[in-house]
Amino acid sequence: MFTLEIAGKAVAITNADEDQAQELFTSEEFKDDLKAFTSDGEPLWDGKAPLKVRRASEDEADAFDDAMEDDEEDLDEEDDDDEGGIDVMFLVLVDDVDDDQDDA
């Protein structure tokens, strides 16, 4: 597992391999999300601070595994065909995001 750090703060974790994590966390789409998402009213990323992808700590990996186990318990059995995908979890509290945003 790999963690995204912004200005020394662990922000997100993924179960992707190193190359996939690097590609995901540094993609323009994910960087746009980091600038749009807020925590305590502040953007997760200012667009300037360096983004660092590193191996996840044991505590971060445990938190990820716990969250994924809880999430799996909430899924219906028919949704179990999603195995093998890449998951991302934020390690900071993200303010509510308007799911009704238009991309057009």
pTM score over 0.85: no
Is the Cβ–Cβ distance between 28 and 88 less than 8 Å? Answer: no
The domain spans of the chain are 2-75+85-90
What local confidence, expressed as pLDDT, does residue 34 receive?
A: 96
How far is it, in rounded angstroms, from Cα 26 to Cα 14?
13
Q: Give 3 or 76, the one with higher predicted confidence.
A: 3
Residue 64 has pLDDT above 60, yes or no: yes
Q: Please tell me the least confidently modeled range out of 13-27, 31-45, 87-101.
A: 87-101
Q: φ, ψ for residue 71 (rounded to 5)?
A: -65, -40
